[in-house]
Each structure stands twice: as structure tokens, then as C-alpha cells.
Amino acid sequence: MMRAALATILALCVLTGPAEAASDNGLSIRPAMGWSSWSFVRRQPTEAKIKAQADALVSSGLRDKGYVYVNLDDFYQKCDGNGFVVDSYGRWAVDAAKFPSGIKALADYVHGKGLKFGFYVTPGIAKNAVTADTPVEGTSYHARDIADTSQTHKNYNCKNMYRLDFSHPGAQAFIDSWARQMASWGVDYLKIDGVDASTVADVEAWDRALRKTGRPINFALSNNLPIAQAATWRRLANSWRTQGDVECYCGPGPNGSGFPLTDWAHVSSRFGSAASWQPYAGPGGWNDYDSLEIGNGDQVGLTADQRRSHLTHWAMAASPLLLGTDLTALTTVDLAMLRNERLIAVDQDGVAAQRVVNSGVKQVWRKREANGDYVVTLYNTGTSGRSTVSVTWAQVGFTGPAAVTNLWSGASEGTVASSYSATLRPGETRLIRARPDVLRAGPGVSPP
């Protein structure tokens, strides 16, 4: 049934790229929307902090606009001198000082708010599991049977993660047991971090394990995945991070935490990435350009113009919209940006835009939606000086006049004959919807 539903959605959408190769787990037919703990909470997540952000998603009205995931990222775990502390079956133990009620209780709280709960893991098996030779739940196997202790995995917290030997059936059984635990806790979204070309077997194992649980769990991969394996990521997962972190790690706190969260260089670098990865996005699988650093005004490290361009670009690319800011301190200006239904619709249309102008600081992107409308964005990506950015309708993909609507303001700009221009401040964007006249000619007229 899920496979049939996905096929129907694909048939309705106008896409460029190998859409037929998307994950068929029936999830993320549209890009995920919500909040993730890493950017603002960083290395100090707690039960109270996550609950506060969930509360704010509701009270701000963002939940009702579609921002529904509350994703707990790294540093929820307990560590000792040998790496991750583990439970009786070798899985990471949750730090009870940070999460005294446990993960299931937290997920239940999030669900009670009408939201969904996300969780985090990296590939491999912990050194402490191997040292203790913990059993693999439901099998006669043990950790030493399935670990390749000659190799370690990338891990950003406690380190000391050995690789799994997937030639042994106990390795899949171990991942299955971990996935079952997460499903029993009520996990709706799982981010597996530290993925690269050498971890395809791990991603395949987690994909199989999540499906076996019978619980719908949106499967996200991170970070800076190689584009050479793009078709593989698309087959196995619902989203994949195309670059490193959007955070600048230039704040005053430990490990660069605190404001600013990012800078324009980290955001604008996503333009080139989005152009390269564009063919691989579509219903069931999305290019993820990392957290959306909008909500707390200029202190995040971006001007208001840059923040609008940030949201515009993520929406044009049909990226997941996962906020990284402090939702308990949303500014009026930023909340209006995030609640703009026209911008949300651009993200949720299920079409990743193509770049048609790339000249210095001038960029233009376009996409054609299923109803025949074209959504077009003009950017000045520079940091100083105004720039006039132009595009012809022929470059966009049609000829003849079109009715133009400014999607940030909602204002009509009337009928525009054959090209469009905007003089933009540094970091500013102009986002428009162009409806070709042929579409307004009445029934029986096919779109170009």
C-alpha cells in the first residue's frame, strides 16, 4: 500500500531526476518540518529544554503551520573513559541526569502536544559493549561475535565505536534490537550521523531494521555525504545532508556554542551544493541543507535580508525545514517569516529548483509546479553593494507574458511581458510566482 501511494504522488509531481529510485518506505512524501536541538541547545540537551521547545512550537503557532518534529540530537548519552555507557544489550545508555524520566516519557510528552519525536545515533557498536561482551537481544550472539575491533567509526561525542561485521547475522540482529527499542519509545524520526561512503552497509542495516519495527520512522542521514553515492542515499533514506554543518561554531561558549549560530558564508555555500544535488530530490527523499537558523533575529549571525534568503533557498530546494534556534525567544519579524504560508507552500510543493543564472553575486533559480506555475527566485548573494538581477521567461522555461505575484508580500505585480528584474540589497532575495498567460486562457489550454 505504501509503495502504491508513493507511486501516485510521484505521478502527480513535476520533477527532474531519478524520482523512481526514492525510498519506498512511504514516508516524507513532503520535506520534514520541525526543530532540532543541535544548533542552539548543542551539547547540553535536557528533558526540560526539549519540553520547552515543544511547548514553544505549539504556542507560537508553528506546529499548526506544519513544523511538527521535535528532534533530540547528540549528547543525550552517558559516557565514561572508554566511550558510551551501554545497557544490558550493548545499546547506548541515556544520561539519567539529563533525562530523568527517560526517552519514552519525553516522546509521550511530545506526542501529547500533537508533535513527533526525533532521535539520534551513529554507526557501529560501542567499545564498552564489546569489552563486556553483552548479548544481542533475542539471539545467542554476543558483542564480540559481531564487532570488527580493527576499525572504528566516526563519532562526535564519546568516540570508541567499533565497526560491525555485517557478514555475521548477529550484526543485523543488533541493529534490529536497537531499532525495536527506539520504536517502543515512540521515535518518529531517526538521524544517523557519521555516514560516508564506507558506511553503506550500516545504512542498509538501519533501513531494514526500521522497516521491521512496523512503526513509521522518518530516516535521515548526516553529514556531508558524497554525491557519488547519491542514488544509494535516495534508495535507502528520506533525507541526506549534502554538506557539513551550517553552524559557524563561532559563539563565545564552549566549542563555539552560543550566538551567533551561523554566518552568511555557511548559508550561501549551500547554493552550489543545491545546484549539484538538485536532480536527486523528490517525494520520499530530500536533499537536506541543515538547520534553518531563523527565529532569534540578527543575533543568529544573519541580517533580516540574509535570513529571508536563507528560508527562500531552503524552500526553493525543497529541503527539510528543521529550525535550529531558540523557539522560546522568537522575534516578531522572524516568526512572521516562518509562518508565511506562501513560503511554506514553496517548500512543500515537492519540487527542487534548478539554477538558471549564476553570475558573480547574481543567481536565479526556477521550478515548475504541478499546476504549471513557475516559482522563481532572484538573489544578490554579495555582502556589499546593490545588484540588479534579471531573468527572461525563456530562461525560466516558458514564453509569453505571465501574471506575477511577490510571494514574500503576497502582492500582485501585474502582468510581466518577457523578463523580470529586481535591484537587490546585499543578501536580499526576490521570490515570485509566475503564471503564464496560456494558463489563464481557460479550460482546454495545456500548459507549456
Average pLDDT score over the chain: 94
Task: Tell me the three cell numbers of residue 31.
Answer: 520535506
List all residues 6 or more positions away from 172 whose beta carbon is below 8 Å from its beta carbon: 166, 205, 208, 209
pLDDT digits (tens, 9 = 90+) for 182-240: 999 999 999 999 999 999 999 999 999 999 999 999 999 999 999 999 999 999 999 99
Task: Tell me the three cell numbers of residue 41.
Answer: 541547545
Q: What is the pLDDT of residue 289?
A: 98
Highest averaged pLDDT of the listed ranges 4-13, 20-29, 145-154: 145-154
Give CA–CA dist 169/353, Å, rounded.
42
Q: What is the pLDDT of residue 442?
A: 52
Identical fold between 2-352 and 355-440:
no
- Residue 162 β-bridge partners: 125, 152
pTM: 0.94
Q: What is the pLDDT of residue 4?
A: 38
Q: Which of 47, 59, 42 is nearest to 327 (CA)?
A: 59
Q: What is the pLDDT of residue 9?
A: 39
Q: What is the pLDDT of residue 3?
A: 39
Query: Using CA of residue 315, residue 333, residue 407, residue 416, what is the dihedral sign?
Result: negative
Average of per-residue pLDDT across 365-370: 98
Task: Tell me the three cell numbers of residue 137.
Answer: 537481544
Average of per-residue pLDDT across 83-97: 98
The answer, yes or no, to whether residue 288 has pLDDT greater than 50, is: yes
Q: Indicate the CATH number for domain 2-352.
A: 3.20.20.70
List all residues 6 or more positions away from 25 whose beta carbon is below 8 Å from its beta carbon: 2, 207, 210, 211, 216, 219, 238, 284
Average of per-residue pLDDT across 319-338: 98
pLDDT digits (tens, 9 = 90+) for 343-363: 999 999 999 999 999 999 999
The answer, yes or no, to whether residue 19 has pLDDT greater than 70, is: no
The domain limits of the chain are 2-352, 355-440
Give CA–CA dist 129/239, Å, rounded.
30
Average of per-residue pLDDT across 268-290: 97
pLDDT digits (tens, 9 = 90+) for 122-160: 999 999 999 999 999 999 999 999 999 999 999 999 999
Q: Which of 143, 140, 212 is nearest to 182 (CA)?
A: 212
Q: Indicate the CATH number for domain 355-440.
A: 2.60.40.1180
Task: Tell me the three cell numbers of residue 117.
Answer: 519525536
The answer, yes or no, to whether residue 404 has pLDDT greater than 50, is: yes
pLDDT band at 410 (very low <50, low <70, confident <90, very high): very high
Q: Which of 284, 338, 351 is nearest to 310 (CA)?
A: 338
Q: What is the pLDDT of residue 1?
A: 35
Residues identified as active-site? 193, 245
